[in-house]
Chains A and B, each alone.
Chain A
Amino acid sequence: MNIGVLIPLIIFLIAIFAIGFIASKQMGSGGSFLQDYFLGGRELGGFVLAMTMVATYGSASSFLGGPGTAYTVGFGWALLAMTQVVTGYFVLLVLGKKFAILSRRYDAVTMIDFLKARYNSPAVAILSAIAIIVFLFSAMTAQWVGGGRLIESLTGLSYTSALFIFAVSVLVYVTIGGFRAVALTDAVQGAIMVVGTLILLIGVIIAGGGIPAIMQDLLNENPRLVTPFGADGSLTAAYVSSFWILVGVGVVGLPQMVIRTMSYKSSRAMHRALAIGTIVTGFIMLNMHLIGIFARPVLPGIEVGDKVIPLIALEVLPPWLAGIVLAAPMAAIMSTVDSLLLLVSSAIVKDVYLNFIKPDAPEKKIKILSFGITGVLGIVVFLLALQPPDLLIFLNLFAFGGLEAAFIWPIVLGLYWKHGNKYGAFLSMLTGIGSYIAIHFYNQEYGNLLGVHTVTIPVVLSLLAYLLGSLAIKREPFRF
């Protein structure tokens, strides 16, 4: 592997390291340790908030899988990917100020703290903690595997050593720096994604002889590549539109996004973040998927979708520039993994240990435990990622949509509908996860039910369950 590609990547890793370290020095300046470690002391500004939301959300799938699919499917997949623009403003506007105000009032450090205060029910808290720990733990492992594989393919190192490099870099800054380090490194990683995708897009367009020439090549190969219906005409409007739930508005229920909407400093930071977040998400997604489509005539015949971006970068850019560009998918994976690691750690320390095992633990013990659990979790994930067990891969399938179906209504309606109660929330979570798993198997066997993505029906069912539980079992309005 070319040393010219490696140098920018190494510089990137060192820079991330340094930022994490600096962030850890800022800790402990007033406020409680838990708020500081798991929520950055609620002092994120607009830019960092926007970037940490975009970067946490944009994962291996947006940077490797998505463009790889666009390479095969054509413009239909870019259309699908652009449904994600909505996340930039929707999450912040809908959870919005009310969530920020209430989470401060309840002194909530995690999403479960909020649910616990809102529903006043240990059952809701336990079920949420289990869902978060199980699903996000498996999602995290899958991302680590992706990170290891990427380093492996870029450097030629063995998978084990590649994974080790990845694990060490993430673990150190997350463990010592907590949320602040995660958010700050996310901001840098997000900026790298913006610059990297722009450079690569320009490179691909030049290599393809301009957009009109590329378009002509695509039309000559298969005119369906430039339609919204996919290379084989199988992308239906209903299926693509259902991604508005999975990767668009449903993201409101993802714990890693929810936690960010309680971390900002002021309403002004939130306003800035929703504009910046929309622009950055749209820009990155548009660029990445256009790169995937345009790569097809430039570098035909790539079989494995995940390899499209690395291969095209090495093809059309000088090595040092390819190194900078390939730091982008690296950054995307790291910024997702670091957030998930901290989130799972907070679920164990705050939501399980402090809520149910030892509520009066002294500050010093909480501190040691937080560092300890984060570190141990990271090591366990590393060991599992060496040879991912089938169960984790299986659970990862439900991590995204399953959590959305579980949490979207307990969070959103819990925030705005005073009649929502613990029965509704509990039923809604059970229904969401249960029906997601059931419909997943149905769709695998018989094709998509009603022609839409798996997430759609569980989100509707969990809404019905929430309404039913809240209205039928016991009605008492909540006073916010």
Chain B
Amino acid sequence: MRPDTPNSPQSDQPKQDPRFKTAHKEAWIGVALAIFNFIWWFGFAYGLGGRPVEEYTYILGLPDWFFWSCVVGFILMSIITVVLAKFVLTDMPLDDDPTYHPNPPNFSDKPAQKGPKS
């Protein structure tokens, strides 16, 4: 598909780039994560923080609402993104490569590396 004719009729293979399915899924993961992040942040900040100041307790010296909303919330998001990066998100070539199939036996971004039996 040429950049100047992105809608050109000659590229009429109906099937979608298989990589896009994964890409779409991962974009939705991003949206879901942001929503989760927001609920956590908002819930602790205004749930706990809405009490009268006299009722606050302090964790590591910080007000409890802030500790849970911003400190724990941040640490939690960091852990989630590390898990995502290591185990959930799929590696794929970014250049157009007609031989690419989803779920290859052993894809790495260094294609020169070959395992002993692959």
Q: Which residues of A contact B (CB under 8 A)?
A: 75, 78-79, 82-83, 85-86, 88-90, 92-98, 100-101, 104-108, 117-118, 120, 210-212, 214-215, 219, 223-224, 226-229, 237, 240-241, 244, 248-249, 265-272, 274-275, 278-279, 282-283, 286, 416, 476, 478-480
Contacts and interface: CB of A to CB of B under 8 A. Distances in A.
Contact of B3 (A117, A227, A268, A416): A117
Given A93-B29, A95-B27, A274-B85, 20 more contacts: A75-B63, A79-B41, A79-B45, A93-B27, A98-B24, A101-B17, A105-B1, A106-B3, A211-B60, A215-B61, A215-B63, A224-B53, A226-B63, A237-B45, A266-B109, A268-B91, A268-B109, A274-B84, A275-B78, A478-B7
Given A82-B41, A90-B34, A211-B62, A267 B91 contact: yes
A359 to B, nearest CB: 11
B91 A89 contact: no
24 contacts: A75-B63, A83-B41, A85-B37, A86-B38, A90-B34, A93-B27, A98-B19, A100-B94, A101-B19, A106-B3, A215-B61, A224-B53, A226-B63, A226-B66, A227-B53, A228-B46, A228-B66, A241-B38, A266-B91, A267-B90, A268-B91, A274-B84, A282-B74, A416-B27
B42 A241 contact: yes
Contacts of B53: 219, 223-224, 226-227
A226 B56 contact: yes
A241 B89 CA distance: 29
Contacts of B86: 271
Contacts of B78: 275, 278-279, 282
A266 B91 CA distance: 8
A479 B82 contact: no
Helix, strand, loop or mixed for chain B's interface? helix
Nearest to A249: B34
Interface in B53-93: 53, 56, 58, 60-63, 65-66, 69-71, 73-74, 77-78, 81-82, 84-86, 89-93
Q: Which 5 A-B pairs have the closest CB atoms?
A: A211-B61, A93-B30, A266-B109, A271-B85, A98-B23
Given A82-B73, A228-B65, A267-B109, A478 B6 contact: yes
A83 B69 CA distance: 10
Contacts of B16: 480
Nearest to A99: B23
B106 to A, nearest CB: 14
Contacts of B74: 82, 85, 282-283, 286
B94 A104 contact: yes
A237 B46 contact: yes
Contacts of B24: 98, 416
Nearest to B95: A104
Contacts of A215: 58, 61-63
B64 to A, nearest CB: 10
Most chain A CB neighbours (cut-off 10 Å) among B3, B19, B73:
B3
Given A82-B74, A274-B81, A107 B3 contact: yes
Contacts of A106: 3, 6
A479 B7 contact: yes
Contact of B71 (A86, A268, A286): A286
A476 B7 CA distance: 10
Contacts of A83: 41
A476 B53 CA distance: 57
A228 B3 contact: no
B77 A89 contact: yes
B27 A79 contact: no
B96 A105 contact: yes
Contacts of B26: 93, 96-97
Nearest to A290: B62
A83 B33 CA distance: 13
Contacts of A79: 41, 45, 49, 66, 69-70
A93 B33 contact: yes
B65 to A, nearest CB: 7
Most chain A CB neighbours (cut-off 10 Å) among B53, B70, B93:
B70
Nearest to A75: B66
Nearest to B38: A244
Contacts of B37: 85-86
A213 to B, nearest CB: 9
B74 to A, nearest CB: 4
Contacts of B90: 267
A239 to B, nearest CB: 12
B49 A98 contact: no
Contacts of A88: 77, 81
Given A97-B26, A275-B78, A480 B20 contact: yes
B31 interface: yes
Nearest to A91: B30
B103 interface: no
A198 to B, nearest CB: 15
